[in-house]
Structure 1
């Protein structure tokens, strides 16, 4: 009889341990663990790719302007509240679709080596919507000395949303990490 009680107690303890382990794993999978710049399909909100990123880290979005076919580089900084601050715009033509001067207080317009810059920008966005190039495949993300071609991770012509999010282990396992 004592052996049966011991076996029942062991089974109950084993069951409690297994349930606690399963609960712990479920919680661990769904708790945010990594801050990342996410690239989401704008319609489905599915994360197509992500790039781990830190607070105050800068990144650049480089692309070829669709009308005058010259390079444009937008520079952004990740803010503590996950918003994205545009800090600089660099371009080569003052043609249609490009500014001819700084527009807001504190911004500075600079011309240097045949390029135009708007510096000291303080434009803050919760996210950025864009359509990836379909004809001239050119969108790139640059950060910490590395460059990632968006068409390697996202289909050309996609309508996407760039947003800083804290990703869970589950999202990290499902998504495509751009930097390896």
Structure 2
């Protein structure tokens, strides 16, 4: 899995990730000022959104469920489960004020603002990389 600057394609971060491994993204919603967390799984080179949880339901949040998805309320939070939304890549701007975008990867919380400048456009995707790429070769 890699994170690249969307404009320059410069590699910002990378780590090995196996088929069917999971990761997450968490941030503070700009209007509600409450945490939103998304859970993803890697399958066939695609990033699949499998679950989303959030505290406040309203502007900017999911308002329709796709077939098979289920909305639960647990511990005062909304959870959309059984999601199966496929993405070839995730594109986002690293929050500059309060978003605190954080990558949840292999039991570690990695603030995206520590990897690249707040406000920068990044792309998260799965790439097949050779061992030479990993160690800085060609």
Do the aligned residues in 2 keep the contact of 1:85 with 1:122 (CA within 8 Å)?
Answer: yes
Q: How many residues align?
A: 136
The alpha-carbon deviation at position 51 of structure 1 amounts to: 2.4
Query: Aligned partners of 1:95, 1:169: CA distance in 2, in Å?
Result: 45
Return the structure number with greater helix share: 1
2:46 to 83, 87, 96: 83
Uncovered stretches (5+) of structure 2, i.e. residues with no partner: none
Matches within 5 A, 1:140-179: 140-174=102-136
Q: 1:156 to 1:173 in 2, by over 3 A?
A: farther
Query: Aligned partners of 2:107, 2:9: CA distance in 1, in Å?
Result: 29
TM-score (norm 2): 0.91
Uncovered stretches (5+) of structure 1, i.e. residues with no partner: 1-36, 175-180
TM-score (norm 1): 0.71
**Where do 4+ consecutive residues of structure 1 move more than 6 Å?**
none
Return the structure number with greater strand share: 2
The answer to whether 1:39 aligns with 2:3 is yes
> Cα RMSD between the aligned structures?
1.4
The answer to whether 1:120 aligns with 2:82 is yes
